[in-house]
Amino acid sequence: MQKMHFNVKAFWDRVKARIKEKSLTQEHVSEVCRVPYTTLRNWMSKNMVPPLSNAYWISRLLGVSLEYLINGEGKDQISKTTKEALTLLKKAEEKLEKIRRNNYE
């Protein structure tokens, strides 16, 4: 199996460029994506990999595919892998919501 290389700096460079293109602010991105602003700034300044769910919501807000933010390709396309990941995330969120409801009943 081939090991994939993920350039985190390039990821954040694409995020910053897209924020500028859309005339948004980092504060707005953090608010809409429900990430504390300081956390988003730390991810960006320290070139840290964000959790997949946060990266997904950032890509949605910025109107690009997650693949584009990761590797610069397929700006407006969603791959099969991303669709599968999103399906798994949705199922996990549904299970968590069910657990929360059961704990409060």
- For CA atoms 11, 16, 19, 25, the dihedral sign is positive
In a domain, 96, yes or no: no
In a domain, 37, yes or no: yes
In a domain, 91, yes or no: no
In a domain, 93, yes or no: no
5: left (phi > 0), else alpha (psi -120 to 50), else beta? beta
The CATH number given to whatever domain includes residue 28 is 1.10.260.40
- Cβ atoms < 10 Å from Cβ of 32: 13
pLDDT of 89 reads 84
Tokens matching residue 65: 């595919």
b/e burial code for range 75-89 (CB count within 10 A of at least 16 → b): eeeeeeebeeebeee
Residue with tokens 């910025």: 62
In a domain, 87, yes or no: no
In a domain, 30, yes or no: yes
In a domain, 22, yes or no: yes
Number of domains observed in the structure of the chain: 1
Question: Each residue of 65-92: pLDDT tens digit?
Answer: 888 898 887 766 556 666 777 788 888 9
- Percent of the chain at pLDDT > 70 equals 85
- The domain of 35 spans 8-77
pLDDT of 24 reads 96
Tokens matching residue 32: 């809409």
- Cβ atoms < 10 Å from Cβ of 63: 12
**What's the predicted TM-score (pTM) here?**
0.67
- Cβ atoms < 10 Å from Cβ of 52: 14
